[in-house]
Amino acid sequence: MTVTARLLAGAPAAEALLADAAARAARLSAPPYLVMVRLGDDPASVSYVRGKDRKAREVGLSSTVHALPETTTQAELLDLIARLNADDRVNGILVQLPLPAQISEQAALHAIDPRKDVDGFHPLNVGELWAGRPALRPCTPAGILALLDHYRIAVAGQRAVVVGRSHIVGRPLAGLLLNRDATVTLAHSRTPDLGAVTREADLLCVAVGQAHLITPDMVKPGATVIDVGINRVPGEKGGKAHLTGDVHPDAAQVAGAITPVPGGVGPMTIAQLLANTVTAAEMQSGGQAAR
Ligand SMILES: Nc1nc(=O)c2c([nH]1)NC[C@@H]1CN(c3ccc(C(=O)N[C@@H](CCC(=O)O)C(=O)O)cc3)C=[N+]21
């Protein structure tokens, strides 16, 4: 198999974003302080939150994790969020998703002070994104734009197709690409003849959560492909489980550039969260607005 596409590795782009965040943090009177709240013991959530906490300390931020029981009530969670909102030392608050069934995601996300909403999920920040005004932006979509900028891949004037309409990736990513003057199509599970749509894309972003949904024939030759999927595939006959994306690996023979899974968008999500925490701290210190 011959791979022709340029590989867009997340690590170097994430390092550049983190170096910039660390330099901005150093100009503040105190280290930006991120508080993460996690409910229950889902192994993926435990591992993501640990990774973010470790990276935060590495770049000189303060970070605390509140690990609450799976049985935490909504009132208890809202009470914790209210205390974090009122605590002037706390610059950023992240409530790890998904939440247990007894808690309304909407109630939790609405409760976070929009100025501390480093996930960019509060409706005020969602509205500002779609209005094209500065605010805290969702980490995965903003991280994808930072990755494209790092590799000097043009966005303005490009035909962008986003597959997947989730609130955490697809929708906000479409908005960010639109704000950067791409011509944007938002496709999803009900889109007829998905391949005909994706083949139009100069920039194809896939965030569905379905392993190898995008096959090589669905990719325009030379296109840039951003694979946001993280799918766990069980090992064959006792072999090790591994991660794979929403894009079939053979698409690398058609694309001009492609992100690997793992090691592509994932590291950018973490770096952008920490950059957002610095931005939140800057805004709270009366400094410049979010970018
Ligand atoms: N409130 C909230 N904000 C989030 O940003 C949020 C969340 N909830 N819930 C879950 C998703 C998922 N997420 C990832 C972060 C890093 C990697 C990451 O670093 N992935 C590595 C591989 C990690 C592995 O081995 O599992 C990679 O792609 O190279 C992946 C996924 C943030 N999320």
For 90, which DSSP code?
Answer: -
Which whole-number Å values give the CA distances from 201 to 57, 179, 226, in the listed order?
A: 39, 17, 11
Q: Is the pLDDT of residue 231 over 90?
A: yes
Residue 1 pLDDT exceeds 70: no
* Strand pairing report for 231-233 and 242-244: antiparallel
Question: Average pLDDT in the 212-224 region?
Answer: 98
Question: What gap in Å lies between CA 281 and CA 63, rounded to an integer?
Answer: 13
Instruction: Tell me the sheet residues that pair with 117.
Output: 93
Does any ligand 1 atom lie closer than 6 A to the CB of residue 34?
no
Mean pLDDT of 33-59: 96
Model pTM score: 0.96
Asked if residue 289 has pLDDT above 60, the reply is no
What pLDDT does 287 receive?
Answer: 57
Q: How confident is the model at residue 81 (pLDDT cuts 50, 70, 90)?
A: very high
Q: Which atom, in ligand 1's list, is nearest to the CA of 98?
A: 9
Domains 30-121 and 138-267 share a fold: yes
Structural domain 138-267, CATH architecture: 3-Layer(aba) Sandwich (3.40)
Does the beta carbon of 207 sit less than 6 angstroms from any atom of ligand 1? no
| pLDDT, the chain, mean | 96
* Active-site entry in 117, 119, 227, 246: 119
Residue 286: band (very low, low, confident or very high) from pLDDT cuts 50, 70, 90: confident
Find out whether 189 is annotated in a ligand binding site. no
Q: Is 199 annotated as a binding residue?
A: no
**pLDDT number for residue 135:** 98
Using an 8 Å Cβ cutoff, are 41 and 53 in contact? Answer: no
pLDDT band at residue 237 using 50, 70 and 90 as cut-offs: confident
For residue 140, CA distances in Å to 89, 102, 120, 282 come to 26, 26, 10, 21
* Residue nearest ligand 1's atom 16 by CA: 266
Per-domain boundaries in the chain = 30-121, 138-267
What percentage of residues in the chain have a pLDDT greater than 90?
A: 94
Whether residue 246 is predicted with pLDDT greater than 90 in this model: the reply is yes
Task: Read off the pLDDT of residues 82-134 as tens digits, 9 standing for 90 and up.
Answer: 999 999 999 999 999 999 999 999 999 999 999 999 999 999 999 999 999 99
pLDDT of 291 higher than 80: no
Measure CA 135 to chain center: 15
Residue 237 annotated to the active site: no
Handedness of CA 209, 212, 217, 223 (dihedral sign): positive
For residues 123 and 259, give the distance between their C-alpha atoms in angstroms, rounded to a whole number. 30
- Assess whether the C-beta atom of 272 lies below 6 angstroms from ligand 1: no
Structure-model confidence comparison of residues 287 and 179, the more confident one: 179
The pLDDT of residue 288: 53
Instruction: Give 10-28 pLDDT, tens digit per residue.
Output: 999 999 999 999 999 999 9
Q: How confident is the model at residue 240 (pLDDT cuts 50, 70, 90)?
A: confident
CATH homologous superfamily of 30-121 equals: Leucine Dehydrogenase, chain A, domain 1 (3.40.50.10860)
Q: Tell me the chain's radius of gyration from C-alpha atoms.
A: 19
Q: How confident is the model at residue 238 (pLDDT cuts 50, 70, 90)?
A: confident
